Structure 1
Amino acid sequence: MDENAGRPRGFNIWSLFYGSTASIVIATVALFLISPLLAPGSTSWPAINGMLPFAAVLALVAIGQTLVVQQRGFDLSVPGMMSLAAVLVTALPNNDDSRLWLGVLAAVLVPAAFGLISGITVSWLKATSLIVTLAMNAVLYGFVLWITQGTPYGATEALKSFTLERALGIPNTLAIALVVIVVIAFITKKTTVGWRLTAMGVSPPAAEVLGLRVVRYETLAYAAAGACYGIAGALLAGYVQTPNIFIGDPYLLPSVAAVVLGGTALSGGIASVIASSVAALFLTQLNQIVLAAGWPTSTQFIVQSLVILIVVIIRESVYRLLSARARRRTASMEEARPREEARAPA
């Protein structure tokens, strides 16, 4: 089989923004335009300045969730992954800046390793991703409680400074997220690895017939997702300075919401990490509006759930309408063909 078959040729940065991304970009721009009407001050520079780091963290988590959903799974270990990363990046250095590198390395590689285990269990043993990742989440929180004994650690001065500072006016957390977004978007859209991940998400049996190693690439998706959660947890730990041991809990539902809003097919295959990242910005700004309007924090979860429900209903309705239209068009063509053949001269 030609490994390059079906791959887009050449690289154009704007080609990464086609398809489902356009819809969520338009929705996000519209949300920012109406934000001053819904909650005055929610689009002021201080408000946006404080919102962007959290949007960056959610974008990283959404990228990981997108990679898993692309392989027809759901990752419920997001809270445990992020919490463990936050604990490792704070507990291992233990306020010693000279050991921060060890904490950062562990915060990224350990969640990636646990993601690898989840991936092997799902792809090789054919276990259900929901059950596997839910169990993995419990294991991860077990490690969190064992390491901390219930007492959170504080971030080192170097980590706090890095996450709070800016480069050229851009928060460092956002800069890290942008780098990860561009790299993974390029890999998933413009490389053989990305094409194979898409092919396996669309139809694993067909991918096996084509000679693709499904277990290897599906496992890779879970491991990469774990690394994304680890980066997000480490950055969040530095930003909040003293992260609680359940710091990852609020990010599970938003990560799924971002994936759905970004247009990733829940049946697998079609996915866009850029669309999911923009959706993360949309959701974070939506939360800003909710809080600025004086609604309780619990309302955020209600709003996010309603957003997911509405988007799924609209998407399913549009899909059914388009499918019905395609069937009618096919039927019309089939009916017209005998008449055209009858009119044709002998």
Structure 2
Amino acid sequence: MPIWLLAIVVFVISPLIAPGSVTPSALTAMLPFAGVMAIAALGQTLVITHGGIDLSVPGVMAISAVCVTKLAQGGQLPTPACVLLGIAAGALSGLVIGVAVVRFSVAAFVASLAVNSLLTGLVLVVSGGFPGTAHPAVSAFAVSSFAGVPTLFLLATLLVVVAHLVLKQSVAGRRFIAVGAGVPSARIAGIHTSIHGVMAYVLAGTAYAAAGMLLAAYLRTPDLQLGQSYQLTTIAAVVLGGTLLRGGISSIIATAVAALFLTQLGQVVLAAGASTAMQLLIQALVLAAAIILRGVDWRRFVRFRNEPVHPQKQ
């Protein structure tokens, strides 16, 4: 079932499971988190388009959150400098992973998991176990809205549309996708595959950093584990959006719709009285179901059902 239909279904059945879950106030509270997930999932889409996977999401989101909270608190650094530092941290993390994967042929999950562990330790050292509080001006921007729509959701929508247009309409974007579809073929076409491979992780790290800072600003006093739940959900959103795990085919807009679907699903589960553990379990089941169904050749199944049955000869 296309993710668009799944999103419609979850919004239709939400009031039946948890009354009040699609009221204007409930949607206004849900959309900022959907926007944050869409931005983080955008980065994961770029990596999976190249057949990789990035497990550094929690670490990058946490270190960028510390940049706009702990480092900005008390005027230690100007807020714009803290934002740039957070973006730089995400990009540098992606660069390290990209070079390890592309240049030294380290498995993507190994390289990204190692960087995630390094960042997690760095977060504890820098923060001292206390994340701090975001600057009031930054928080005011994060919690603001325009025409009743949360600013974070509008910003995420803008980023998703721009990324979609760049990938689908620009020469650089088409080359990026071509590398994901097949490195040997891309090399024959004269494309510098190594650069595109590394840039996938750099841009992904930048997206995670942006998501982490926006979430920290929205929460104002975030938890140091704020990115843990995005480890699984970003991958789930990418798979539900139709991106192939082996790379080559992707849809950033469909990934964003999947992020909206997963966020609303999580909100409904919590509103129904389920625990956070149950929410994670349901997300894991959704991911598993998406991967299994993605591997089924439905056209072959339909052909089998439509084949005429011939009586056996006696």
| TM bracket, shorter-chain basis | over 0.9
- Give yes or no for contact 2:71–2:77 (8 Å, CA) kept in 1: no
Cα offset for 1:107?
A: 1.5
Q: Is 1:138 equivalent to 2:117 in the alignment?
A: yes
- Of 54-63 and 112-121, more deviation after overlay is shown by 112-121
Map 1:291-302 to 2 at 5 A. Answer: 291-302=270-281
SS of residue paired to 2:73: coil
Question: Deviations along 1:137-180, whole A, 9 cap, x unmatched?
Answer: 01111221121121221111111111111122221111221121
Task: Answer with 1 or 2: which has the greater Rg.
Answer: 1
Amino acid at match of 1:191: S
Question: Deviations along 1:218-265, whole A, 9 cap, x unmatched?
Answer: 111111101110110001001111112221111100011101100000
The gaps in structure 1 that reach 5 residues or longer are 1-21, 329-346
Alpha-carbon separation, structure 2, partners of 1:85 and 1:192 = 31
Alpha-carbon separation, structure 1, partners of 2:168 and 2:71 = 36
Identity %: 40
Which residue pairs with 2:219 in the alignment? 240
Alpha-carbon separation, structure 2, partners of 1:62 and 1:268 = 15
Map 1:148-159 to 2 at 5 A. Answer: 148-159=127-138
Q: TM-score, normalised by structure 2?
A: 0.93
Amino acid at match of 2:285: L
- Give yes or no for contact 1:95–1:155 (8 Å, CA) kept in 2: no
Which residue pairs with 2:57 in the alignment? 78
Q: Which of 308, 314, 321 is 2:293 aligned to?
A: 314
Q: Which of 235, 245, 260 is 1:256 aligned to?
A: 235
Q: Is 1:94 equivalent to 2:63 in the alignment?
A: no
- Give yes or no for contact 1:197–1:269 (8 Å, CA) kept in 2: no
Runs of 4 or more consecutive aligned structure 1 residues displaced over 3 Å after TM superposition? 95-98, 322-325
Cα offset for 1:273?
A: 0.9
Cα offset for 1:31?
A: 1.2
Q: Is 1:117 equivalent to 2:96 in the alignment?
A: yes
Amino acid at match of 1:105: L
Q: TM-score, normalised by structure 1?
A: 0.84
The change in CA–CA distance for 1:204 and 1:250 in structure 2 (over 3 A counts) is: same
Which residue pairs with 1:214 in the alignment? 193
Which residue pairs with 2:310 in the alignment? none
Amino acid at match of 1:160: S
Amino acid at match of 2:173: G
How many residues are treated as equivalent by the alignment? 305
Question: Deviations along 1:170-207, whole A, 9 cap, x unmatched?
Answer: 21111221121111111111111111111111111111
Alpha-carbon separation, structure 2, partners of 1:138 and 1:35 = 37
